[in-house]
Structure 1
Amino acid sequence: MNESTKSTGLNAAAAPSRRAVLRSGAAAAGLAAFPMIGRTQGNTLRIGVVSPRSGPLALFGEGDGWVLDQVRKHVAGGVEAGGKRWNLEFIAKDTTSNPVRAAAVARELINADKVDFVLSTSTPETVNPVADACEAAGMPALSTTSPWEAFYFGRGAKPGEPSPFKWTFHFCFGVGNFAKLYTDQWSKVATNKKVGMLLPADADGNAIRRMLIPALQQNGFSVFDAGPYQNGLADFSAQIAAFRKEGIEIFNTFPFPPDFAVFWRQAAQRGLAQQVKIVQTAKAGLFAAEMQALGQLGNGIHSGTYWHRSFPFSSPATGMSSAQLADNYAKASGKVWTAQIGATASLFDAAVAAVRGSANPGDRAALAASIAKLKTPTAVGDIDFTTGPVPNVATTNLVGVQWRRAANGTFSLDIVANADHPKVPLTGQMTAYKLS
């Protein structure tokens, strides 16, 4: 290992697999096999909603049921589209955090539940297999909360070539957002600019390894990649020893939430937590429940987030401001609000806007065309599918945050960096991580 990106996994996110080629053929066949008119009953649209509500990614799906209930209430009278009023019926499915299960429930929604539109959220392990199933079936689909490169290139698209996707669309931040965020956020604490990367052997890890590491190096950071590891790894002693030897003062990782807890406890036992000045998490480190489980080890951890209660945006599909979403969820659930509350609301914001913008949302082609030209406000900010960066994708932005532990053991989240999302106000000043 050295201070450059590893070759392992570099091509996995960019090169189409045999499975992707076969899938493209299946999608083409699906266009002939499935009529363009969906299977709507009268003026009712059936919309499938897929997310991880159990398993290792369950924290992402924890609030999805509550958000969906708010959407159901807000659109109970239906929505106007194409000169008609359409009732929206939502059918939710749990992936159990399993990609195979995600594909299976997507097919179940299409073939058994006869839906007209599929929504999915939270990590490539959810949105990619759902999108693949929908693409093959000629089913309009919209997703969020997974770096767009993992969605687009991770499913077989190639840079500079036409999009192989006709039915599946995605909006989210990307690797470029992380590079802009980190360059700004990491400048707020004095370090030796040595970054240690812990990246899993999955779609997120492959996309980050391929694109973020070079961007960080171009911005003057020395990057040490510990190499790909399998999700669920129980012993990180080799990676910790390597990070200590390299003298890294900035630690960055994109793991499953349970894996980060395992790693960081071991890092504290082996002296790494005492060495680093910035502990930058992504995918993990987004939820107060994670920090509370870590206790004092969670105090001062840094992250990037796609939504916060202080966002100056509202959710049209729920009728709530960002602050109202956070406060109402906390009151109803007795739990701390999470970034995913706003992200899930934004998915429904975009979906309802796409339905409203379609001349005939019961027609699959018309609904897909509406998504492709969608420009709309959401809880995470405005999204615009007409401006790229690639077909079928719209981008959102990130802010830098830091966890603070109160004397009673509860955690709050300050916004400490906003170069990538300047419309969002700062709520605190970033400080170095210090294990006491």
Structure 2
Amino acid sequence: MSESRAVRERVLTVGVAVARSGRLASLGDPLDFALRHLAPKLAGRGPAGYTIRLASRDTRSCAEGARRAVEELIRDEDASIVLTLAGTEVLPAVADACEAAGVPCLSSTFPWQVYYYGRGGGDDRPFDWTYHFCWGLDDIAETFADLWERVDGPGSREQIGCLWNDGPQGMWSRHPRHGFAPAARARGHRLVEPEPYREPAGSLDAHVKAFEDAGIDIVTSAATGRDLAAFRARAAEVGWRPRLITCSRWLAYPPSVTPSGQLPAQAGVGTLAYWTPAHPYRSSIDGMTAAELADAYEQSTGRQSLQPLGLAYALFEVASHALGTADDPTDRRSVAAALGATRLHTMAGPLDWTRGPVPNIATVALAGGQWQPGSRHDYELTVVTPGRIEGLSATGDLVTA
């Protein structure tokens, strides 16, 4: 065996499919930061006799770009495992390309039911190569119900207006078995559901009128920031203002006041708090706390930290753990088996693929948050309800209209 080949064979490559251009580039920022921050640390953490190397490709924020990124990571970089955080079309494309190629894949920031059942998985039909960690649609409903039930006033908490689109977010939210709606109804809430709107929304007049006519005080949605802003603007025009809006999509990103002084779409909106500097999480790689990671990101980038940062960090933690515990880290089948057996405390909290809820999935606990004016930034995510996160305390109270 030549010396150059021997050197190559002692290197295990973690491939990263990350959006660096296109509409999802901001989602790629925390993953890119985690990659650059951890690359030198992971180089010394490979299994005995090996070093870990990181390589990335741009998904270009589209499904075709995602498939091409996976092809290049496998062909040109000989990736032992592929990691991604992505969007509605991009993440499944990365996972499906890895499944077809027989390469382990680990992903996050996508409700697990959409990832699993939406890609054709079944309770008795797991995937061979693709693994995921995230919360579920039912967890979103439970978290939002915790927020709804803090709104004062007779009857105000019982009826919930649903601003659903006709895309995957709205479809899965309405799913009779796996969606958001069954869990919300199980908590005693009646959902008022006008016809789904086409995204991007044109007119949302019918939704505003339906909610106003029904006496709705609380609205929930999975809208984009653009459509949520349009809905709020139209409601203000007719003189109707819900007391609380909860939304699960794009709310991971800090809002800021626009140059015109107009309030951003997220201002005062209740959302998921899955990772903040207040979360009691610590990295298995370097012992860094959530607060320290948020500070490192802000010091390095000059920008406010993002919720996906904690999940991005955890992707590398789990990949390193799988390579270190695989019977043969050079064998992709062995690495996939190690992913499925992983139980690890990470920057995203405790992750356990041995518990389900279905094969290939580990769950992330949620708290309830609200974007409120902050002391260090225009708006900061306040933890209002700690949910099921052990050791997390509320950092503020829910503010309603």
TM-score, scaled relative to structure 2? 0.89
Alpha-carbon separation, structure 2, partners of 1:193 and 1:64: 39
Alpha-carbon separation, structure 2, partners of 1:400 and 1:429: 11
Indicate conservation of the 8 Å contact 2:274/2:365, yes or no.
yes
Query: Which residue pairs with 1:103 in the alignment?
Result: 67
Query: Which residue pairs with 1:205 in the alignment?
Result: 170
Alpha-carbon offset, residue 304 of structure 1 = 0.9
Q: Would the alpha carbon gap of residues 48 and 200 (structure 1) be closer, same or farther in structure 2, given more than 3 Å must change?
A: farther
Alpha-carbon separation, structure 2, partners of 1:44 and 1:407: 45
Indicate conservation of the 8 Å contact 2:140/2:248, yes or no.
no
- What is the RMSD computed on CA atoms of the aligned residues? 2.3
Gaps of 5+ in 2: 1-5
Task: Indicate yes or no: 2:341 matched with 1:347.
Answer: no
**1:171-320 equivalent positions in 2, closer than 5 A:** 171-190=133-152, 191-210=156-175, 211-272=179-240, 274=241, 276-288=242-254, 290-293=255-258, 295=263, 298-317=266-285, 319-320=287-288
Alpha-carbon offset, residue 406 of structure 1 = 4.9
Question: Given the alignment, which residue of 385, 397, 400 partners 1:417?
Answer: 385
SS of the residue aligned with 1:157? coil
Alpha-carbon offset, residue 161 of structure 1 = 2.8
Q: Would the alpha carbon gap of residues 409 and 334 (structure 1) be closer, same or farther in structure 2, given more than 3 Å must change?
A: closer
Alpha-carbon offset, residue 395 of structure 1 = 0.7
Alpha-carbon separation, structure 1, partners of 2:293 and 2:233: 33
Aligned residues: 387
Of the structure 1 ranges 421-430 and 363-372, higher mean CA displacement relative to structure 2 is found in 421-430
Alpha-carbon separation, structure 1, partners of 2:22 and 2:162: 25
* 1:46 partner letter: T
Indicate conservation of the 8 Å contact 1:298/1:405, yes or no.
no
Alpha-carbon separation, structure 2, partners of 1:208 and 1:119: 26
Residue-by-residue CA offset, 1:320-366 (whole Å, 9 max, x unaligned): 21000011111111111110111111111111111111121110110
Indicate conservation of the 8 Å contact 1:78/1:85, yes or no.
no
SS of the residue aligned with 1:313? coil
Question: Given the alignment, which residue of 125, 143, 162 partners 1:162?
Answer: 125
Indicate conservation of the 8 Å contact 1:60/1:340, yes or no.
yes
Gaps of 5+ in 1: 1-38
Percent sequence identity over aligned pairs: 30
* 1:279 partner letter: I
* 2:168 partner letter: A
Query: Which residue pairs with 1:400 in the alignment?
Result: 368
Question: Given the alignment, which residue of 78, 84, 96 partners 1:132?
Answer: 96
TM-score, scaled relative to structure 1? 0.83
Query: Which residue pairs with 1:41 in the alignment?
Result: 8
SS of the residue aligned with 1:62? helix
**1:110-149 equivalent positions in 2, closer than 5 A:** 110-149=74-113
Residue-by-residue CA offset, 1:46-70 (whole Å, 9 max, x unaligned): 2211233443333322222211111
Compare the two structures and name the one with the higher helix fraction: 1
Of the structure 1 ranges 86-95 and 171-180, higher mean CA displacement relative to structure 2 is found in 86-95
Alpha-carbon separation, structure 1, partners of 2:165 and 2:7: 41
* 2:159 partner letter: K
Indicate conservation of the 8 Å contact 1:181/1:420, yes or no.
no
Q: Would the alpha carbon gap of residues 277 and 40 (structure 1) be closer, same or farther in structure 2, given more than 3 Å must change?
A: farther
Alpha-carbon separation, structure 2, partners of 1:79 and 1:98: 32
Query: Which residue pairs with 1:50 in the alignment?
Result: 17
Indicate conservation of the 8 Å contact 1:71/1:318, yes or no.
no
Q: Would the alpha carbon gap of residues 206 and 112 (structure 1) be closer, same or farther in structure 2, given more than 3 Å must change?
A: farther
